[in-house]
Structure 1
Amino acid sequence: MTATIYKADPFCKTLEPQTVQVAAQNPMEAVVGKILESPGTVDFELVGYRVAVDPTTKVATVDLRLSPTSRRQFISLASCEQFALFGSLKKTLTSHPDWAIESVEFTDRGKAIEF
């Protein structure tokens, strides 16, 4: 199926839409995967993720799995890197009309990611 994801522009000022093809089964997981597959920084490595949505509160939780060997942590990301990662995920998930997600929370192995 076709889906729209949002990626940061080269200047980290706006999120620009991009059309991508994803598997029709689990499209929400697939769009998150598309965003995360983009090359990031060499010393920041994610090894997995999970997406869960509470239909009552319309809150999506994206649980990111940082590699144990990653030299950088979430807190060490520059503001542009944070915008590119978390902004892209939030905009993509809240913009899809079929999912009706109102907000997105981020966790690292179940613990809230705070900056």
Structure 2
Amino acid sequence: MNTNKKYIIPFIVVAIAASISSCNSNQASQNLDQTATAATTIPTNSPSSQIPTQAQLRAKSSLEQPFSYEPFTENTASSTSQAATDKTINLTLYTSDSECQELIPNTVSVPASEPATGIVSKIIEQQDTGDFNLSGYRVSVKNRIATVDLRISPDSKRQLVSLSQCEQFALFGSLRKSLTSNAQLNIKQVRFTSRGKKIIL
């Protein structure tokens, strides 16, 4: 029996040593994997990965939006009704016919303090549909050139590029004709942007 114990005990010791060494190699490979993952996710202090300061963000924002001095107007009914309490003037609003062939003139009242913004508001109210929504806009006029900056709602299913020719005519054609045909506005040209970037029609 002593001989059996002699052979069994070394066998058990070898088995235990082998299992311990295999556990250590698994832990080592796991540690290497974790170290590699950590190495790829640790941010470096290179200039490209630094978080911009508020001043840098403001400077970038002013570069992207050359007319940031104008207030941003949300596309809501309250903004229109609030403006209606001011002194108003009558302007001609041009809207597309049902076949998108011509623009039909209608007389509307808009706030005398901001007539260009008022006329843009009236047109945009008509353009909101179930799948295409504008969340707001900004209008600025400088040197008789009006810039209309449109903001697409984040939950809009469609974007400006997905508008059909008829929809583009109804929106952009109405805005351009309404802004340039009213002598009181003194506008000769209209530019369209989306968040400061030129819209190419």
> Shared topology, TM-score over 0.5?
yes
In structure 2, C-alpha distance between the alignment counterparts of 1:100 and 1:24, rounded to whole Å: 14
Report the Cα distance in structure 2 between the residues aligned to 1:36 and 1:98, rounded to whole angstroms: 20
Moved more, 96-105 or 70-79: 96-105
Structure 1 vs Structure 2 CA RMSD? 1.1
Deviating more after overlay: 36-45 vs 23-32: 36-45
AA at the equivalent of 1:90:
R
Shift of 1:40: 3.5
Greater percentage in strand? 1
| 1:43-75 superposed Cα distances (whole Å, 9 cap, x missing partner) | 1000111111112xx211000010111111101
Aligned mate of 1:68, from 126, 144, 154: 154
Q: Deviations over 1:17-57 (max 9, x none)?
A: 011111222111011101111154311000111111112xx
What is the CA–CA distance in structure 1 between the aligned matches of 2:188 and 2:108, rounded to whole Å? 22
Other-structure match for 2:164: 78
Does the 8 Å contact 1:44/1:70 carry over to 2?
A: yes
Residue of structure 1 equivalent to 2:94: 6
Contact persistence 2:127–2:171 (CA under 8 A): no
Alignment coverage as a number of residue pairs: 113
Alignment of 1:1-115 (within 5 A): 1-55=89-143, 58-115=144-201
Q: Distance in 1 between matches of 2:189 and 2:182?
A: 12
Distance in structure 1 (CA, Å) of the matches to 2:99 and 2:152? 25
Q: Which runs of 4+ in 1 moved over 4 A?
A: none
TM score, norm. by length of structure 2: 0.54
User: Are 1:50 and 1:62, in contact at CA under 8 Å, matched by a contact in 2?
Assistant: yes
Q: Aligned with 1:2: secondary structure? A: strand
Q: Deviations over 1:59-115 (max 9, x none)?
A: 110000101111111010000000000000000000011222111110011011124
Gaps of 5+ in 1: none
Q: Residue type of the partner of 2:135?
A: V
5+ residue gaps in structure 2? 1-88
| Higher fraction of helix | 2
> Which structure has more RCO (C-alpha within 8 Å, separation ≥ 6)?
1
**Percent identity (aligned):** 52
- The whole-number CA distance in structure 1 between the counterparts of 2:158 and 2:94 is 24
Choose 1 or 2 for highest CA Rg: 2
